[in-house]
Structure 1
Amino acid sequence: MKQQLNLFFHALMFYSRIPAGKIDYSEENLTKAFRYFPVVGILVGAIGGGVFLLFRLIFPDAVGIAAALAAMTLATGAIHEDGFSDFFDGFGGGQTKERILAIMKDSTVGAYGVTAIVLLFLIKFSILSAISPASMLPALIAAHASSRVMPVVLINTSQYARKENSKAMHTRHRTDGVTFSLALVFGALPLLLIPWQTAVILIPAYALIWFLLKRYTERKIGGFTGDVLGAMQQFSELAFYLVFVGIQSVTL
């Protein structure tokens, strides 16, 4: 149990800004901590949903959605949004593998990255505005949990593209079977909170994102980086919201 708590705190510390306990750090533990990556998503989604419900007691729903997006971004330290922005900067501005990798590692943000992040939040706000208030909390929890399974899938089906040291070096190792299985379980369980039709359509939608992103990044840079993993999570989260709203519209 102590070791599992240690792994959970690894995930909490590395993938969020939520206070975590003291950890016995190692790169191996950080790789194994992927089993709790979707659990971090559950917490982030719960924070966003809770903020939305609190704000709508006084303010219009639109204000609650904006506050929820801000709270979830603060909870993660924008780690995945940063990867999403760097992804578009790198692949938008680079023509060779070396140039793409260099741009993504650069701490400055370019026009592609700024445009991508602005559109990302506009699209999220627009889609979340179409979700019924009663469904917001379970939708956010399920979205953040299930979307965090997809980077784990990519890690186990592709290869790390960088040779030099980086913050995401632990992702060059594929996870063990227990870690992968637990990540799938923790990511899938919150889907029980939403209509089953959403879960059924979500599986092929996620599979399509995985296939296209894997094929594209392997062709361009020979695999993935930490920024690609962040983009994978964000693409998957957006897909969840689109599928959820689509099913909600059809079944109403």
Structure 2
Amino acid sequence: MKQQLNLFFHALQFYSRIPAGKIDYSEENLAQSIRYFPLVGSVVGIVGASVFMLCMLVFSQGVSVTAALISMIAVTGALHEDGVSDFFDGFGGAYTRERILEIMKDSHVGAYGVISLVLLFLAKFSLLTSITPEKVPLVLIAAHASSRFVAVALMRSSSYARTENSKSAHSRLSLSRTTVVTAFVFGVLPLVFIPPLVSAVAAIVYAIILFALKHYVEKKIGGFTGDVLGTLQQFCEIAFYLVYTALISLI
């Protein structure tokens, strides 16, 4: 149990800005902590859900959604959004593998990155404000947890593209079956509060996004990077909101 708590705190420290205290750090522990990546997603979703519900006591749904989005960005340090920006700058502004990887590692943000972030937040805002306020908290938690499992699935099924050290270098270590199964459990657990039809369709859409992005990045750069993982998580999160809003009126 002590080791599992240590792994969870590894995940909390790496994938969020929430203080995790002292940990027994190692790259191997960090790789194993990926099993708790979806659980960290639930924590992030709970923070956003709590802020949303508090703001709804005073403000409109639009203001509450904005506050929730800001709070979740603050909790994660914009880790995944930064990945989206770098992804679009790299793949949108270069053609060779070396140049794509170079641009994604560059701290500067280009036009593609800025535009992608604007569209990302517009999509989240428009979709979340179209959901019944009472359901938004559960949708946030389910979307953040399940979308992070898809990133784990990519790590399991593909290879890390970079050869040099980077903040996501631990992703090159192979994931054990226990890690994948644990991540799956934490990823799907919040879906028990979501209509089965929504969860089933979302799973299909997740699989399509995973297959398409995996095929694309492997063709371009030979595998995934941390930025690719962040982009996949964000794509799937938005996909969950989209599926929910499209189907909830039919249920």
In the superposition, the TM-score normalised over structure 1's length comes to 0.99
Q: Which residue does the alignment assign to 1:69? A: 69
Matched, 1:229 2:200: no
Matches within 5 A, 1:118-137: 118-137=118-137
Cα shift at 1:107: 0.4
Which stretches of structure 1, 4 residues or more, deviate above 6 A after TM superposition? Answer: none
Aligned length: 251
RMSD: 0.6
Matched, 1:192 2:192: yes
Matched, 1:217 2:217: yes
Quick one: distance in 2 between partners of 1:174 and 1:242? 32
What SS is found at the alignment partner of 2:22?
coil
Q: Which residue does the alignment assign to 2:57? A: 57
Q: Identity of aligned pairs, percent?
A: 60
Matched, 1:145 2:145: yes
Cα shift at 1:164: 1.0
Quick one: distance in 2 between partners of 1:22 and 1:192? 34
Q: Which amino acid aligns with 2:207?
A: A
Quick one: distance in 2 between partners of 1:186 and 1:65? 24
Q: Which residue does the alignment assign to 1:83? A: 83
Quick one: distance in 2 between partners of 1:38 and 1:172? 19
Cα shift at 1:21: 2.0
What SS is found at the alignment partner of 1:24?
coil
What SS is found at the alignment partner of 1:207?
helix
- Unmatched tracts of structure 1, length 5 or more: none
Q: Which residue does the alignment assign to 2:46? A: 46
User: C-alpha deviations, 1:58-84, integer Å up to 9, x for none?
Assistant: 111110000000000001000000001
Quick one: distance in 2 between partners of 1:33 and 1:96? 33
Q: Which residue does the alignment assign to 2:249? A: 249
Quick one: distance in 2 between partners of 1:169 and 1:132? 41
Q: Which residue does the alignment assign to 2:35? A: 35
Cα shift at 1:249: 2.5
Quick one: distance in 2 between partners of 1:143 and 1:188? 10
